[in-house]
Amino acid sequence: MEKPIILVTGGTGYIGSHTVVELQQSGFETVIVDNLSNSTLDVVDGITRITHTKPHFEQIDCLDGQGLSDVFKKYQNIKAVIHFAASKAVGESVHKPLLYYRNNLLSLLNLIETMMAHHAPHLVFSSSCTVYGQPDVLPVTEDAPVKPATSPYGNTKQIGEEIIGDAIHSGAPLQSILLRYFNPIGAHPSAEIGELPNGVPQNLVPFITQTAIGKRAQLSVFGNDYPTPDGSCIRDYINVVDLAKAHVVAIKRLLAGETGLVETFNIGTGRGLSVLELVNLFQQVTGVALPYRIVARRAGDIAQVWADPTKANTILGWKAETGIDDTLRSAWKWEQKQVIKKLRD
């Protein structure tokens, strides 16, 4: 029997590339669809070096419905899709809302319609803890109310979940697992792939590592007047490889027919760390001094959120396993490798 193929949109991106590695190491054949707007083709080489298997790659924008359809025609045994392709920066989304609504929602509509047309019934959706807004109770469970989003990015994740749920409840031949991530950080321990944003990083850890290596003059900490012990925001930082493994478990659950029509899982560690705690931990584990300054709060940020991952632990049998120290070391190793690579090139 032919092996099922897993289509990964945004598969050369940060989380997508780590997920392709885990899928291939679990015996799946993968097809990456990516427009390379925030990644490079070098990532495919990194995946290949880790897994000794080259993923199929198609440079297509998910806004191109015909292009997506052509991919399904070319690879006729696509049985499941993991949808990462989206614009993803909270702060940027506040300033460019229309870009975010177009990219994140039209791409999802195109994808669902294409999946239905080509009888690919299984979808894992890359959602976010931003759907909870500022939760009333911490840690936050999947039963917590979805609150009005504090950013257009967060809103696209809420609407994305609603689109999938509404399609399925209307009778569409689909099943979906919605994974609500907390804050992925770190890099593959091989340092073959990691987080490499184009331009100025929108996420904390690449900004930390770029500052530590001297690429940035100093780190900006957005606000020290939040209602938290040290005044900086608190987040649940999860190792990106642990996060990637959750997608493999979700795919296996869908393919085995073990899931309901739509299931939702928090993917986090269950532990909250403040921005300043993370900065201090990075300095401790690497021995590198990190210049930083406190600046004004950033639009769209909430004070604190961390996961209750009990549902994923029990139903999926998935658990975050990598400690924060090792995760920060992996991010630093990846950053150092980029500098060496630039010098060599």
Q: Where are the domains of the chain?
A: 5-185+238-267, 204-235+270-344
> Catalytic residue numbers?
153
**CB-based burial, 248-265: b 16+ in 10 Å, e otherwise:** bbbbebbbeeebeebbbb
Lookup: tokens for 325: 């120290």
| pLDDT tens, the chain, 345 aa long | 578 899 999 999 999 999 999 999 999 999 999 999 989 999 999 999 999 999 999 999 999 999 999 999 999 999 999 999 999 888 889 999 999 999 999 999 999 999 999 999 999 999 999 999 899 999 999 999 999 888 899 999 999 999 999 999 999 999 999 999 999 999 999 999 999 877 788 889 999 999 999 999 999 999 999 999 999 999 999 999 999 999 999 999 999 998 889 999 999 999 999 999 999 999 999 999 999 999 999 888 899 999 999 999 999 999 999 999 999 999 999 999 998 887 777
Q: Report yes or no: 228 and 274 within 8 Å, Cβ to Cβ.
A: yes
What contacts 24+ positions apart, CB below 8 Å, involve 199-202? Answer: 202/88, 202/89, 202/90, 202/91, 202/92
pTM for this one? 0.97
For 5-185+238-267, CATH number out of 3.20.20.70, 3.90.1150.10, 3.40.50.11740, 3.40.50.720 equals 3.40.50.720
Q: Which fold has domain 204-235+270-344?
A: UDP-galactose 4-epimerase; domain 1 (3.90.25)
